[in-house]
Amino acid sequence: MTRVSDAIKHKSALTKEEWREYTKTVWSIANVSHGAHPAVFPLEIPHRLIKLFSFHGETILDPFAGVGTTARAGIPLGRRVVCVDQSRRYVNIIKKECARVHNGHEILEQSRLWQLQKQSWQRSELWRVPCRDSTRV
Ligand SMILES: C[S@@+](CC[C@H](N)C(=O)[O-])C[C@H]1O[C@@H](n2cnc3c(N)ncnc32)[C@H](O)[C@@H]1O
């Protein structure tokens, strides 16, 4: 088993508020819709799961990726994301949307991004704020 460095653990750490919220037995997260896909899930779900169960720099696999919600959550958290979907149309949407997330992420310092995510989360709006908007500031 690979040893995870203290620096990576530090980068992957949850805040006290996140830990308290994410480890509740029931999550209350608003539903979302997407113009091109009938069954997307809210960004907040993969955001929480990725933070709880992976380290910065690790790879997340979503074999039923739809329009790439997992990737839009994982990329700003410094994870690599592999998305698979049987629909070429959905895969093209993922490529297009994630290119924007990645580019936005590069021009924003990680600490500022976390600050924005925390603010959004405190207002309970994170799942309604697409990553690309957070990174446009
Ligand atoms: C519920 S949707 C996932 C939506 C995704 N979580 C999102 O937020 O965009 C399930 C996806 O699985 C894909 N799918 C179903 N069977 C598949 C298969 N055998 N191989 C790859 N993708 C498949 C469908 O095309 C669909 O986009």
**CA–CA dist 133, 81 (Å, integer):** 20
pLDDT at 95: 84
Residue 86 near ligand 1, beta carbon < 6 Å: yes
Residue 30 lies in a domain: no
Specify the CATH number for the domain of residue 121: 3.40.50.150
Determine the distance separating the centroid of ligand 1 and the alpha carbon of 5, expressed in angstroms. 34
Average pLDDT over residues 83-91: 91
Residue pair 123/93 in contact by the 8 Å Cβ criterion? no
Domain that holds residue 78: 39-136
User: Which pTM value belongs to this model?
Assistant: 0.78
Cβ neighbours around 63 below 10 Å, total: 9
Instruction: Kindly tell me if the per-residue pLDDT of 55 is higher than 90.
Output: yes
b/e string for 66-81 if b means 16 or more Cβ within 10 A? Answer: bbbbbbbbbbbbbbeb
Residue pair 110/80 in contact by the 8 Å Cβ criterion? no
Q: What 8-state DSSP symbol labels residue 101?
A: H
Residue 19 lies in a domain: no
Residue pair 27/48 in contact by the 8 Å Cβ criterion? yes
pLDDT digits (tens, 9 = 90+) for 34-47: 999 999 999 999 99
Q: Which residues pair with 82 in a beta bridge?
A: 61
Residue 111 lies in a domain: yes
Residue 49 near ligand 1, beta carbon < 6 Å: no
pLDDT digits (tens, 9 = 90+) for 96-135: 887 777 544 433 444 555 555 555 444 433 333 333 433 3
Domain count for the chain, please give it: 1
Q: Coil, strand, or helix at residue 11?
A: helix
